[in-house]
Every structure is written in structure tokens, then in C-alpha cells.
């Protein structure tokens, strides 16, 4: 479980590193030196700052982001659940720990239109597998969730990833 | 995609080294050489097997704003509304979904105050209400896709 913490301080050099590397780490033998050159510092400084940002969690991880569609995970469903607010702290970590759930968040309801407060993104190779996984969650939440739904994506309208703007 | 590609995908979703020659270090642990790893990563980025390679940032910790927003868009206006929503650089992802709320997008802004401004702009431009659903709590974000 990861409760939102106040943001750690990032100085302008940290932000320049993130801006320079967020599109992708240079595919050269010395990528941190390449980033350092671009922003006018040393490789050692970039390495030290990246290590610190990993420690504070500003950088979640460094590595490959696979395109799950290309890997055959063509089904993805945003399952949404209406659970009592006081139960969220208990069930959230259990749902988040499932190996087919990539994200699990507590979000606000918008009554009367939107009654759901727990979101779990479920992945599978196809829609049937997604439906089975959602049924598995429903069994776990039997007697706790009042209702649920699954919203499948029908089209990607935009996907640029999160970026620092400006 | 061969076995080595799969090993790269499964083994390098995190923990890429921070050192002078990190590709060489990562390649050594995969039993290949630096040049081979860089070539394979370039190819997999080019053909779309990988969407990115590098640091993944925790957006809220940058001190900016981040939210998930949803709209119910009449079918005949869908393309027009999509264009208007996507025109905002703060819109990071946007998905059509099979629900009455049929458009779901992520807003990422440099300041937290900016979220409400962008939502107001989109409501103004489209004449449609936008439901703001910022995360209140996050529970383990960590599926690793096995290739």
C-alpha cells in the first residue's frame, strides 16, 4: 500500500534530468553521460540524482515498459466496485496484490451517477479471461461490494504517457 | 521475438543499473554483450514491443496534478469531442470505453491547481460535464507482463 506522501523537493537540475530522460534513456553505451551533456552537468551528478529519486520514489523504476497488446494481453478491463468507504483500506491491498491487477485505486464517487469508489485494472489475453478474473475478484468481495461493473476499452484515443510539460 | 528478447522484457522491467555503462552491466547479467542489448532494445522500441525504455516517473511526487476524468459523449459528437479533449497537452492518455461514461482520460499538469482549470476549459469547449476522479489512495501498482 502506498499512501500519497507530500512531494519530495526536486530542484531544477532534477527536473531537467526527468525531462531529458522521460521520452527514453539514450540507447548509447554511456546514457547517463549523454543526459548529463544535454543538460549541462556531469554523469556522476545525473547518476547520484537518479539514485536519490529512486529512493524517494519520484522515479518508480528504470527499465523497459512493454506494450502489453503486443505481448498478447489484448484484454483489459477497468473493473469498478462499490465498497463501503471504511472497507477500502482492507480490501484495496488484497485486490492490488492479485497478479492480474496492474493498478488499484480508491477514487471518489460522483453520486448519483457514479457509485463506484474502488478501481482495479484487470489484464488478460482476451475478454473472456478478463471476465473470469473479474468474477474471481467478485468472489473475494462477496458481501462487501454492493455492485460492480467492467469498462472495456474500445479504442485508444491518445497515448503520449505522462510528461512534464513546458 | 526470440528467447533473449523475452529475457530482456521479463528481466528488465525495473532495476536497470545506474553506473557508467549500464547496458554493458545489464547485458552481462543476461549473458549477451552491450551492443546486442542496445540493438535489441532499439528494435523492440521501433516495432512497438516496448513502448518505452527508461525511468518511470511517479507523477504525483513531482508535485504536479494528476487525475482520471470521465465524460459521457453523444456518439454523433464523439470525434469532435475527442479532438477538443486531445488538443490539451495535459491529456496524457484517452480511452473510449463501453459504458454510458464513454470517454476516460488522464490529466497530468505541472501544478495541482491547473487540473481544475483544464477541466473547466474542456467543459466550456464541449458543453459537457467532466467527472473528476483523482486517486485518494493507491494500492500496489505492479503487474509485470510476462512475454
Q: Do B29 and B64 belong together in one domain? A: no
Domain count, chain B: 2
What pLDDT, on a 0 to 100 scale, did the predictor assign at position B144?
A: 61
Q: Answer yes or no: is B146 within a domain.
A: no
What pLDDT, on a 0 to 100 scale, did the predictor assign at position A163?
A: 58
Position A94 confidence tier, pLDDT thresholds 50, 70, 90: very high
Q: Do B58 and A59 touch (CB under 8 A)?
A: yes
Domain ranges of chain A: 12-56, 75-152
CA B132 to mean position of chain CA atoms: 19
**B87-128, pLDDT tens digit by residue?**
999 998 899 999 999 999 999 888 889 999 999 999 999 999
SS3 (DSSP) at A103: strand
What is the Cα–Cα distance from A23 to B53, expressed in whole angstroms? Answer: 8
Q: What percent of chain A is predicted at pLDDT more than 90?
A: 67
Q: A75-152, what's its fold?
A: Alpha-Beta Plaits (3.30.70)
Q: Answer yes or no: is B54 within a domain.
A: no
- What secondary structure does DSSP assign to A113-138, as a single string? TB---EEEEEEESSHHHHHHHHHHHH
**Which backbone phi and psi does A3 adopt, to 5 degrees?**
-75, 140
Q: Do B65 and B127 belong together in one domain? A: yes
What pLDDT, on a 0 to 100 scale, did the predictor assign at position B1?
A: 87
What pLDDT, on a 0 to 100 scale, did the predictor assign at position A41?
A: 97
Q: Do B63 and B125 belong together in one domain? A: yes
pLDDT at A34 over 50: yes
pLDDT at A20 over 90: yes
Q: Do B31 and B69 belong together in one domain? A: no
pLDDT at A131 over 60: yes
Range of the domain at B78: 59-132
Q: Do B97 and A153 touch (CB under 8 A)?
A: yes
Instruction: Name the residue facing A155 among B50, B58, B96 (closest C-beta).
Output: B96
Q: Do B56 and A113 touch (CB under 8 A)?
A: no
Alpha helices in chain A (DSSP H): 12-21, 31-39, 43-56, 88-96, 127-140
Residue with cell 492518455: B93
DSSP letter (8 states) at residue A111: T
Q: Do B41 and B101 belong together in one domain? A: no
Q: Answer yes or no: is B20 within a domain.
A: yes
Q: Do B79 and B116 belong together in one domain? A: yes
B100-132 CB burial, b ≥16 within 10 A, e <16: ebbbbbbbbbeeeebbeebbeebeeebebebbb
Does the beta carbon of B46 lie under 8 angstroms from any beta carbon of chain A? no
Which CATH number covers residue B80?
A: 3.30.70.3460
**A41-76, pLDDT tens digit by residue?**
999 999 999 999 999 989 989 999 888 888 888 888
Q: Chain A residue with minimal CA distance to B89?
A: A165
Burial class of residue A77 (count of CB atoms within 10 Å of its CB; 0-12, 13-18, 19+): buried
Task: Choose, out of A15, A96, A157, the residue to mutate when testing the contact with B (most B CBs < 10 Å).
Answer: A157
Q: Do A95 and B139 touch (CB under 8 A)?
A: yes
Cβ-based neighbour number of residue A111 at 10 Å: 7
What pLDDT, on a 0 to 100 scale, did the predictor assign at position A3?
A: 47
Residue with cell 487525475: B67
Instruction: Name the residue facing A104 among B18, B24, B140 (closest C-beta).
Output: B140
Q: Answer yes or no: is B11 within a domain.
A: yes
Does the beta carbon of B5 lie under 8 angstroms from any beta carbon of chain A? no
Highest mean pLDDT among A31-35, A99-103, A109-113: A31-35
Q: How many CB pairs under 8 A join A and B?
A: 257
Amino acid at each position: 500500500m502506498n499512501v500519497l506522501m507530500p512531494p519530495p523537493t526536486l530542484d531544477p537540475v532534477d527536473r531537467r534530468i526527468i525531462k531529458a530522460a522521460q521520452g527514453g534513456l539514450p540507447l548509447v553505451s554511456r546514457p547517463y553521460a549523454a543526459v548529463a551533456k544535454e543538460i549541462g552537468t556531469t554523469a556522476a551528478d545525473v547518476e547520484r540524482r537518479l539514485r536519490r529519486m529512486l529512493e524517494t520514489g519520484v522515479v518508480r523504476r528504470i527499465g523497459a515498459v512493454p506494450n502489453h497488446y503486443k505481448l498478447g494481453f489484448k484484454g483489459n478491463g477497468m473493473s469498478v466496485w462499490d465498497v463501503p468507504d471504511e472497507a477500502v483500506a482492507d480490501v484495496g491491498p488484497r485486490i492490488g496484490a492479485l497478479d492480474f491487477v496492474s493498478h488499484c485505486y480508491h477514487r471518489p464517487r460522483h453520486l448519483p451517477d457514479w457509485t463506484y469508489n474502488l478501481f482495479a485494472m484487470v489484464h488478460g489475453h482476451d475478454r473472456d479471461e478478463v471476465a473470469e478474473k473479474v468474477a474471481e475478484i467478485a468472489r473475494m468481495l462477496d458481501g462487501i461490494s454492493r455492485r460492480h461493473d467492467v469498462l472495456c476499452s474500445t479504442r485508444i484515443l491518445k497515448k503520449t504517457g505522462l510528461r512534464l510539460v513546458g | 521475438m526470440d528467447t533473449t528478447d523475452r529475457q530482456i522484457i521479463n528481466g528488465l522491467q525495473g532495476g536497470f543499473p545506474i553506473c557508467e555503462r549500464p547496458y554493458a552491466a545489464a547485458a552481462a547479467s543476461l549473458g549477451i554483450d552491450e551492443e546486442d542489448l542496445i540493438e535489441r532494445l532499439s528494435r523492440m522500441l521501433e516495432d512497438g514491443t516496448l513502448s518505452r525504455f527508461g525511468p518511470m516517473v511517479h507523477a504525483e511526487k513531482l508535485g504536479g496534478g494528476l487525475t482520471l476524468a470521465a465524460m459521457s459523449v453523444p456518439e454523433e459528437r464523439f470525434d469532435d469531442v475527442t479532438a477538443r479533449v486531445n488538443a490539451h497537452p495535459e491529456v496524457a492518455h484517452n480511452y473510449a470505453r463501453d459504458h454510458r461514461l464513454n470517454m476516460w482520460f488522464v490529466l497530468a499538469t505541472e501544478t495541482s491547481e491547473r487540473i481544475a482549470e483544464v477541466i473547466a476549459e474542456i467543459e466550456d469547449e464541449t458543453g459537457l460535464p467532466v467527472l473528476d476522479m483523482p486517486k485518494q489512495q493507491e494500492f500496489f501498482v505492479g503487474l509485470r507482463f510476462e512475454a
